Amino acid sequence: MERIPEPDLMDDDDQAEAYHLADFSEPHNHFVTLFGQYFEAGSWQGPVLDLGCGTADVTLRFADVFDAVEIDGIDGAESMLRFGRAAISSRALGHRVRLSRAYLPLDDPPRSEYGAVISNSLLHHLQDPMALWAAIKRVAMPGAPVLVMDLLRPADIGQVEQFVAKYAADAPELLRRDFRNSLRAAYRATEVEAQLQEVGLSRLRVSVASDRHLVVAGRA
Ligand SMILES: C[S@@+](CC[C@H](N)C(=O)[O-])C[C@H]1O[C@@H](n2cnc3c(N)ncnc32)[C@H](O)[C@@H]1O
């Protein structure tokens, strides 16, 4: 199936609220657990950059587990960031977790260098996927852990509908629509490998993590 791009920013208020209310605890906790499995404690230190942090659900779960690091999250959609800012302030985590509105390609990152870079579910939104890899290459310190997780484009439209029925059966229609569009916009593992080669992040490895997810991990 050919890739069908979707709008990059999630800057519609209803869309952002539906995303905020959805329960992503299982995949988002899994993302944080994976980071701990790939990168041994003591082998890295912050600060951490979360690219396309959205409502900061992953950002905050990461901050809970790695409770000594500072994390900056960036996203281009104020509708999404608003929920993240409220969660940070209600948990009084503003001294360690900071969100900024910024658009990839990232011309002006919050800091010039990071000890680790993470990103969940951003890649498939990008019209130019190289914007993500170029941002990582630019801000990750040499040897910094990088973990990117995203959807994997199904083989055909029939499989897209199967996944929507299987994994979003009880979700509101708006989320089902977004999930369908995201699956169609996702990249395939071979496409991501070519992107990494083009940008020169050759130490990052792509693996297929489930029927619908891929993981890119390694040291910058
Ligand atoms: C599916 S959400 C994922 C949010 C978060 N990482 C999570 O896992 O919950 C994708 C996010 O990427 C943001 N985004 C898409 N394109 C972007 C760009 N070019 N620059 C900055 N943010 C972008 C969207 O606004 C949205 O909040």
pLDDT digits (tens, 9 = 90+) for 104-151: 998 899 999 999 999 999 999 998 999 999 999 999 999 999 999 999
78 alpha carbon – ligand 1 mean position (Å): 11
Q: Is 1 inside any structural domain?
A: no
pLDDT of residue 193: 97
Residue 119 belongs to domain with CATH number: 3.40.50.150
- Domain interval for residue 79: 13-219
Helix (H) or strand (E) holding 100: strand 97-101
Residues 6 or more apart whose Cβ sits within 8 Å of residue 179: 163, 164, 167, 168, 171
157 pLDDT higher than 90: yes
Q: Is 2 inside any structural domain?
A: no
Report the number of distinct structural domains present in the chain: 1
Distance CA 17, CA 94 (A): 22
Per-residue pLDDT tens over the stretch 45-57: 989 999 999 999 9
106 alpha carbon – ligand 1 mean position (Å): 13
> Closest Cα to residue 2, out of 183, 217, 169?
183
Angle, helix 189-199 to helix 130-139, in steps of 10 degrees: 50
Q: Is the CB of 72 under 6 A from ligand 1?
A: no
Distance CA 82, CA 75 (A): 11
C-alpha separations of 77 from 43, 174, 194 in Å = 33, 17, 28
The pTM for the full model equals 0.97
Helix (H) or strand (E) holding 154: none
Q: Is the CB of 57 under 6 A from ligand 1?
A: yes
Q: Is 3 inside any structural domain?
A: no
Tokens of 156: 């055909």
Q: Is 208 inside any structural domain?
A: yes
